Structure 1
Amino acid sequence: MSEETVNNDPNKKRTRKKRKNFLANAKKYAKKGQMGRGTKIPEELYQYFVGILDAMKQGIQDKEERHALVNNVLERTKGEEHNVVGNQLGCRVIELLLPFASAEDLERFIEVLSPDLRKLCADNFTSHVVETLLRVACERATEHLQNEEESNEEEEVPKKKPKLETKTESKFTEEHIQKCHEFTIKISKYALNNLEDFVWDQYANHILRSALKCLSGITLLPGEKPKVNIFKQTVDDGKGIPPHTTKMTYKNVPEEFKEIVKEFVNRLSAWPQFKDLPYQNITSGLLQVMLYAIKNVDKNATKDLLRKLLDESFAPEDWVANGDDDKKDVKDAEGDDNAVKAANLPPVFESESAVRLLEAALFVSKKKTYTQIYARCFINRLGQLAAMPMLNYTVQRLIDNCDVKEEFEPMFEELSDRLGALLSCGNTGVLVAIAKACLRLKAKQAQFVNSLEAALKCNSPENQKYFSVLCLRLLPLDRVDLNALDKEYFINVHGSVILQCILDFQRPAKAVAGLLDLTAEQLMVIFCDAKGCHVADALCKGQCVGVKARDKLVWRLKGYYQKMALSQYGSRAFEQIFNVASVEQKVKLMTELADKSSLLNSTPYGRILAAKLQLDVFKLSQKKWEDTWKKKDGLNK
């Protein structure tokens, strides 16, 4: 079905490509007399663009200066638009500046480039400018439809068409907004009319994806990071959508845009070769965006598209397994290795491209469709899939998107005795997904802790006190030096997240007891670590962690708070502990800090903490400080 197959060799190391420095390369080419790839531009203009990129990289703090730079550069391109956007360097500069362009400059580029869309969409440089034009035009066309409350809501946009007067006022004129609206529709329909050609073109395909994202109001795809502009002050601090999150944010878009999305889906799903599209990278990527787009447009169309993918591509009716799917596929953790025997799997698992599409399908599917995908592709195969290097991510997405307790329970039963094998092969993300599902659905929490204890080999009464430390390290007891717990050691990020989840369980007693049995030095190793400091958050904020346990934590660290406050991550943990301490305990902590306040001010983290906790006020008048914090505590309750 596809030439691309899944490589499940755990010994094969993935080679990471060295990232190229675009600006350094541009300067290097200029020295050789090469004015970039693509169309030729004068040397003077090329050097000008190099200087502009350099200035942008340094960062321009003043808004007026930045506005002047954008206007000057775009003014310089008048009459040379085609040559500039067809050049590698010129294309990059224009792509970065268009989001900040004035209405006149944006309209000029739209007018100049519109007649040559077919050639531009398939070009390796100009296609990026076309994408940017589409994105900027759509943002300006829909800006007046957004408001803070609705833009923060997850999926469904209200069925009633929003009234313009109740929305955010736009900084652009109605005439410019209308032109942007028309251009968005024009280029989207042009892409739709050329769908048969654009789908297979590596550059035009991305214009199809951008059109779908713009028309459906997609802000960020799951796992996608915000595009960072080279202007330092415009860098978006958002980190995108983390892997285990199952919600997306959509903007409000006109009904006219949504109708075009439906046309895209209808046209592509009617293709005779539709069943093969998931098995190629370029077409799988397009189908993924299409699934996320139609989710916000039409529930019935989403269900029909998923059913078609399931019936024709993922697990066709004529596909029949030839042997046992489970039971003997993965060896126990005690075995020599964690080799996975080849077993019969549905066709979707034969290709990485199809697997990524399956993950998108799990994300957008509703309860009934989700159950069908689970039954046809995953049931009785979870143990095998979870132990495979690539397919374990799909198991994680399956569990992440499970919203029904009764459906999660058989998944847990299928995986509960495989935790040791998953630890051995390093697929610990599956454990994170299970822990989060146990917390989210309030199911199988005690059983998960017991299974994890068995996998970490600390389920005997005398070794249960090591559970929390072993969980943080995600190593079984026989691989940990218990005499070196007061020295720095590697904390597994998945282990930290799992322990945080367990501390939020309805009965976190084992995890809490394991942490409180540690000495102050051993707790310091955890709380002063980048990944371990978040354990303090869970321990202090956990709804089922008792007040006595928190009091014990506060007194356990007595004498170490100053050292904790000097550390970057320790100061985070200190703040969490301070917030849950009683006023009496707060005074003790502040007294400890005040003894050597000059030392506290010697580090940036200590200075910030001293300012937050008003250490200067405490040193001048303890009573005044107590009164201030009593009021604060009263407001927070």
Structure 2
Amino acid sequence: MFSGSVNSDKKSFPMRQKRKNKNTRFRRNAHGFAKKGIYGRGTQIDEEQFSYFVNILDAMKNGFESVEDKDIDNRKIYSGVPSEWHETCKEFGQRLQMWPQFPDLPYQEHSSALLGTICVALKVLDKKMLKLFGKQLLLKAFLKHEKEDNDESKDAELSKAVHSENEQEGTLEDISKAPKVFQHQSSVRLLETLLVVAGPKLRSQIYTTLFAGRVHILAEKSLTNFSVQKLLHHIREKEDFESAFQELKENIENLLKIGHTGVVKALTAACLRLQTKQAQMITALQSALHVPPSTGVAKEKSKFFFLCLLKLKPYEIVKDDESSFVHLHGSMIIQDLLQFNKPIFIVNCIIESPPEQLVGCFTTPNGSYIAEAFLQSRFIGEKSREKLIRLLEGFYVELAISKHGSHVLEMCFAKAQDNYKIVIVKELAEKANMVKGSQSGRVVYSKLRVDTYRSSVNQWKNSLQQKQSKAQQLFKDLIDE
């Protein structure tokens, strides 16, 4: 029954690998031809254009180290645009605002995309004009309400969106009271773009006029929950965020039930970024997952908080779930909680978890980042890190032979005290053949110099001390400079 799907998966993997190798070979050949002075096959282009396209391929492969680097690269692209085009873009925006049809442009697919592109361009070209342009959109277009005699097609579209989510009649009334911007996909996408590029003052105005008082309703709609996420990701004013938090905290359980986990993740990230409402966020998550903080016999239930977050499922489901599944947003929420100012509760939940479950988590793509956040958080003490490293003893080989677990093991080794570094390498040396049997295991075997340890323990210790002294000396030199 399932053989067809298995075979198709086996066929698709070589296909993807072949395509990836082809792309890599294309880049390598392009660099090679450029060194020989050949700029194109068949049609020749000048060297500058050829280098430009090759650099784009390199950037696509390597990506950007940070958002700032990406912004700098975007500015370079815009700086290469002729100056008269800058004025054309500004004039385009000014003329559109004078159109009588301007308030209707966000509600049509193509014109909405045009307005979004203008907003993105104005962020680079003229932030003052972006502020004025955004205000015009907000006041003239976004605040409009659907008329009672609206045409049948829009009524049908709205009705379909509501009934597809199995909502009650009272919710339909709430939607009808919301501004028109939240009832059309094209305008919602434009609003999301404006939330990203807007300055703090304009964004605060958008929140006050459009979101305040209805954030919890918008977060539950499939059409508008991404707008709420954009708002939470970019909100800067603490007062605005605290107001939104009060609306959302009681709805976290319902958001998890309907699968809008991205809103919960965005809410947690905003608590971390703005350094506010962190304790209340943890309490709200505990309540939503049915593992409230408690003492006595019920304390055992609260220990499931970490496992419930991993799967973003309530206690009643997780207590019987032995799978190693890790929810992407669950992992990201835990990473944010570990960066909170007082992460002691989630830290204790992790340390008190069975080591088998931790290893199963850390060997998954999503779970490995939790270990990284735990070991690198500046609010987690040295003793807690040592407890986690000791807890994983006996599973170091299992981590080493796993693609994602090997990265966790390397971080554990880097953070461990010298006496526990020896324990890690000793365990790997005892099962050297198993470690070298996998690609990731061979990398760990080489990096931790397990071969040297097997030959001479003293030599391995000396090399470790020399490496540490070099690092300390280098750090001292940097301080002195």
User: Under TM normalisation by the shorter chain, which class is it?
Assistant: 0.7 to 0.9
Determine the structure 2 residue equivalent to 1:631.
469
> How far has the Cα of 1:576 moved from its partner?
1.7
Q: From 74, 85, 88, give the equivalent of 2:43.
A: 74
- For residues 57 and 510 of structure 1, the distance between their equivalents in structure 2, rounded to whole angstroms, comes to 46
The answer to whether the Cα contact below 8 Å between 1:471 and 1:496 also exists between their aligned partners in 2 is: yes
Q: Quote the residue 1:478 is aligned against.
A: 316
What's 1:509 paired with?
Answer: 344
Whether the aligned pair in 1 keeps the contact of 2:196 and 2:234 (CA below 8 Å) is yes
Gap change, CA 1:516 and 1:73, over 3 Å in 2: same
Q: 1:102 corresponds to which letter in structure 2?
A: D
Match of 1:279 in 2: 107
Distance 1:227 1:400 in 2: 31
After TM superposition, list the pairs within 5 Å mapping 1:404-415 onto structure 2.
404-415=237-248
Matched with 2:304 is 466
**Does the alignment pair 1:386 with 2:386?**
no
1:262 to 87, 90, 112: 90
More helix by share: 2
Give 1:118-517 correspondences, 5 Å limit. 236-238=61-63, 248-249=71-72, 250-252=74-76, 253=79, 255-316=83-144, 341-342=171-172, 343=174, 344-461=177-294, 462=299, 463-482=301-320, 484-485=321-322, 488-517=323-352
Q: Which residue of 2 aligns with 1:28?
A: none
Partner Cα distance (1:546, 1:274) in 2: 57
Specify the code of the residue in structure 2 equivalent to 1:294. Answer: L
Aligned length: 420
Letter in 2 for 1:493: L
Cα 1:261–1:556, aligned 2, differ >3 Å: closer, same or farther?
same
Between 427-436 and 270-279, report the one with greater CA deviation. 270-279
AA in 1 matched with 2:311: R
Please report how far the alpha carbon of residue 61 of structure 1 lies from its aligned counterpart in structure 2 after TM superposition.
3.1
* Cα distance change, pair 595–426 in 1 and its aligned pair in 2 (3 A): same
Question: Residues 65, 493 of structure 1: CA spacing in aligned structure 2 closer, same or farther, 3 A cutoff?
Answer: same
- Cα distance between partner residues in 2 of 1:234 and 1:471: 35
8 Å contact kept, 2:307–2:318: no
Residue identity matched to 2:384: A
- Cα displacement (A) at 1:240: 11
TM-score by length of 1: 0.61
Letter in 2 for 1:497: M
Which whole-Å CA distance do the structure 1 matches of 2:358 and 2:306 have between them? 11
TM-score by length of 2: 0.80
| Amino acid in the other structure paired with 2:100 | P
Q: Which amino acid aligns with 1:581?
A: A
Amino acid across the alignment from 1:74: T
Structure 1 counterpart of 2:441, from 606, 615, 629: 606
CA contact (8 A) 2:204 2:237 kept: no
> Structure 2 vs 1, CA of residues 236 and 470 (structure 1 numbering), >3 Å: closer, same or farther?
same
CA contact (8 A) 1:527 1:573 kept: yes
Q: Provide the C-alpha distance between the structure 2 equivalents of 1:510 and 1:288, rounded to a whole number of angstroms.
A: 43
CA contact (8 A) 2:75 2:124 kept: no
Aligned residue number for residue 102 of structure 1: 46
The letter for the 2-side match of 1:310 is: L
Q: 1:525 to 1:240 in 2, by over 3 A?
A: same
Distance of aligned partners of 1:265 and 1:450 in 2 relative to their CA distance in 1, 3 Å threshold: same
Residue of structure 1 equivalent to 2:353? 518
Structure 1 residues 301 and 446: CA distance shift in structure 2, 3 A? same
Deviations 1:270-327 (A, max 9, x none): 32222111111211111111111101111210111001101111014x7799xxxxxx
Match of 2:373 among 528, 532, 538: 538
What's the secondary structure of 1:518's corresponding residue?
Answer: coil
C-alpha contact 2:207 2:240 (8 A) present in aligned 1: no
The CA deviation at 1:389 is 1.2
* One-letter amino acid matched to 1:399: L
What one-letter code is carried by the residue in structure 2 that aligns with 1:410?
S
CA offset at residue 56 of structure 1? 7.6
Partners of 2:370 and 2:257 lie apart in 1 by 24
Q: For 2:63, give the aligned amino acid.
A: G
Q: CA RMSD in A?
A: 3.2
Question: Does the Cα contact within 8 Å between 1:417 and 1:451 map onto a contact in 2?
Answer: yes
Distance 1:489 1:519 in 2: 13
Provide closer, same or farther for how the CA distance between residues 605 and 298 of structure 1 changes in structure 2, counting only shifts above 3 A. Answer: same
The gaps in structure 1 that reach 5 residues or longer are 1-53, 76-100, 107-135, 141-225, 322-335
Structure 2 Cα separation of the partners of residues 240 and 578 of structure 1? 25
1:420–1:456: 8 Å Cα contact kept in structure 2? yes
Alpha-carbon offset, residue 591 of structure 1: 1.4
Change in Cα spacing, 1:352 to 1:601, as seen in structure 2 (3 Å) is same
Instruction: Quote the offset at 1:549 in angstroms.
Output: 0.8
AA aligned opposite 2:110? I
Q: Helix, strand or coil for the counterpart of 1:602?
A: coil
Give the partner amino acid of 1:466: F
How far apart are the structure 1 equivalents of 2:147 and 2:378? Answer: 48
**Quick one: which amino acid aligns to residue 261 of structure 1?**
C
CA shift at 1:239, angstroms?
A: 7.7
1:15-71 deviation per Cα after TM superposition (whole angstroms, max 9, x unaligned): xxxxxxxxxxxxxxxxxxxxxxxxxxxxxxxxxxxxxxx998963634344777753
Q: With CA pairs under 8 Å and 6+ residues apart, which has the higher RCO, 1 or 2?
A: 1
Partner of 1:531: helix, strand, or coil? helix
Query: Using a 3 Å threshold, how does the CA distance of structure 1 residues 420 and 234 change in structure 2: closer, same or farther?
Result: closer
Q: Is the contact made by 1:583 and 1:630 (CA closer than 8 Å) also made in structure 2?
A: no
After superposition, give the CA deviation of every residue in 1:203-227 in whole Å (9 maximum; x if it has no partner). Answer: xxxxxxxxxxxxxxxxxxxxxxx99
CA distance in 2, matches of 1:305, 1:451: 38
Change (3 A) 1:388 1:241: farther
Equivalents in 1 of 2:378, 2:221: separation in Å?
36
CA distance in 2 between partners of 1:586 and 1:458 (Å): 36
Give the C-alpha shift of residue 374 in structure 1: 0.7
CA shift in 2, pair 1:428/1:551, >3 Å? same
- Residues 227, 348 of structure 1: alpha-carbon distance in 2 compared, 3 angstrom cutoff: farther
- Tell me, in whole angstroms, the C-alpha distance in 2 between the residues paired with 1:586 and 1:433: 37
How far has the Cα of 1:248 moved from its partner?
4.1
- Unaligned 5+ runs, structure 2: 1-20, 149-164, 477-481
- The 2-side partners of 1:504 and 1:632 are apart by 30
| Structure 2 Cα separation of the partners of residues 60 and 576 of structure 1 | 33
